[in-house]
Amino acid sequence: MLHKTKKPQQRAELPEQAGAAQPLPQGDFAVYVAARGFEHDLLAELGKRVLAQRGRLVLARGARPAAWAHNVWLRPQWLPIQSVGDAVRQLKGIQRNWSLHIPPEHIRRAKLIQEQLPHVSAKAQVFGQPMPAGKLGAWTLWAPELLLASPATTSPYADGEVLFEENKIDPPGRAYLKLWEVFTLLQCFPQAGELCLDLGASPGGWSWVLGKLGATVLSIDKAPLAPQVAALPTVSSCQGSGFELDPRDAGAVDWLFSDMICYPTRLLEAVQRWLAHGQCRNYVCTLKFQAETDYETAQAFAAIPGSRLLHLSCNKHELTWVNLACWREAATQG
Ligand SMILES: C[S@@+](CC[C@H](N)C(=O)[O-])C[C@H]1O[C@@H](n2cnc3c(N)ncnc32)[C@H](O)[C@@H]1O
């Protein structure tokens, strides 16, 4: 059971010009697609750079990584249109593949336009296969006679949501999808024989993924693993607290995973101990927030050299912190 130690933080307010009658941003701006239900977190993250907001779309100065955005439109442009046919002609004139971000209004008109654009296959992602290679632009109908469209985006998935062909039989629960997504996006994952510590492992979705990759997995949780995960030959488990494991006793570790339910501040202290000891190469940890988002601690994680903070498609009120040895080296050298 978690107890509150912090004063709840204020929800971020929209800037004044993000109301209904907002001037259209021009020049150097990008469009950020907020994780569903986390628009206020994205607004807080982008802060004073925000120029306008409509539903899940936040227009802000500059294109930079944003944890609470699933996709960033890198080269947005305003396209006045005279008709549905004109919209189709203009979008096709820029490139073939477009995905529609469904607007809060004029949905029927937007769908009519999308239906006349070349079909883009939206097959579920199969784990282990590379991300779609084709260029996927994104667009929306901002007003009945105005498109906002970007031929370049940071994600090859529509609205940045990775939908997997799920395995509903073997893993216990759906948490395994978080690791599938991280490994697919990073195109990097534990190799056979690498040592992985999985803290907060029960019922065992993450250990199942890691064990199936052939990694040597030590799962730690106060609760037991599901029997089918405990039975994997590459997985061994230990019942207890992940915080009690002292990095000095662990030796060389290839990957440290944590999906423990705990305050982000407590996780940060633990991660700092592991980093200071210098014997663990790669980290994937979930920061789980309670009623209020702890922006300060999220920022402290993001500030660790070589870090990325992501909201994954199946993350709830949480962020996934990833730190790889190769990124740390690049960040500290450059
Ligand atoms: C969201 S679940 C983890 C799901 C897991 N990643 C999976 O794939 O099945 C969170 C787990 O954290 C565990 N937990 C909470 N505090 C812990 C601690 N101090 N040490 C180890 N495990 C802890 C809980 O027992 C719970 O099983």
* CA distance linking residue 53 with residue 45, whole number of Å: 14
CA of 255 to the centre of ligand 1 (A): 17
Among the CATH numbers 3.40.225.10, 3.40.50.150, 3.50.50.60, 3.40.50.800, which is that of 176-333? 3.40.50.150
Peptide linkage before 151 cis (omega within 30 of 0): no
Q: How far is the CA of 195 from the centre of ligand 1 (A)?
A: 19
- Can you give the C-alpha Rg of the chain in angstroms? 22
Q: Which residues of 22-56 are buried (b: 16+ CB within 10 A; e: fewer)?
A: beebeeebbbbbbbeebbebbbbbbeebbbbbbeb
221 lines ligand 1 (CB under 6 A): yes
C-alpha to C-alpha distance for 25 and 96, rounded to whole angstroms: 26
Residue 200 alpha carbon to ligand 1 centre in Å: 3
Q: Report the run of H or E that residue 111 belongs to, with start and end.
A: helix 107-115
Ligand 1, residues 2, 228, 260: which to mutate, most atoms within 8 A of Cβ? 260
CA of 295 to the centre of ligand 1 (A): 22
Q: Spell out the domain ranges in the chain.
A: 16-160, 176-333
DSSP assignment string, 61-106:
ES----TTEEEEESS-EEEE-SSHHHHHHHHHHH-S-EEE---SS-
Ligand 1 atom closest to Cα of 260?
A: 12
- Interior angle at CA 66, CA 61 and CA 71, nearest 5: 90
Best residue for ligand 1 mutational test, from 182, 199, 202, 243 (most atoms within 8 Å of Cβ) = 202
Q: Which whole-number Å values give the CA distances from 70 to 87, 247, 318, in the listed order?
A: 25, 33, 13
CA of 97 to the centre of ligand 1 (A): 41
Q: pTM here? A: 0.92
What is the distance in A from the centroid of ligand 1 to the CA of 68? 23
Q: Residue 186: which H helix or E strand, with range? A: helix 176-186
pLDDT in tens, the chain (334 residues): 333 333 334 334 444 434 445 689 999 999 999 999 999 999 999 999 999 999 999 999 999 999 999 999 999 999 999 999 999 999 999 999 999 999 999 999 999 999 999 999 888 999 999 999 888 999 999 999 999 999 999 999 999 999 999 999 999 999 999 999 999 999 999 999 999 999 999 999 999 999 999 999 999 999 999 999 999 999 999 999 999 999 999 999 999 999 999 999 999 999 999 999 999 999 999 999 999 999 999 999 999 999 999 999 999 999 999 999 988 888 887 6
Q: Which fold has domain 16-160?
A: VC0802-like (3.30.2130)
Contact 224 CB / ligand 1 (< 6 Å)? no
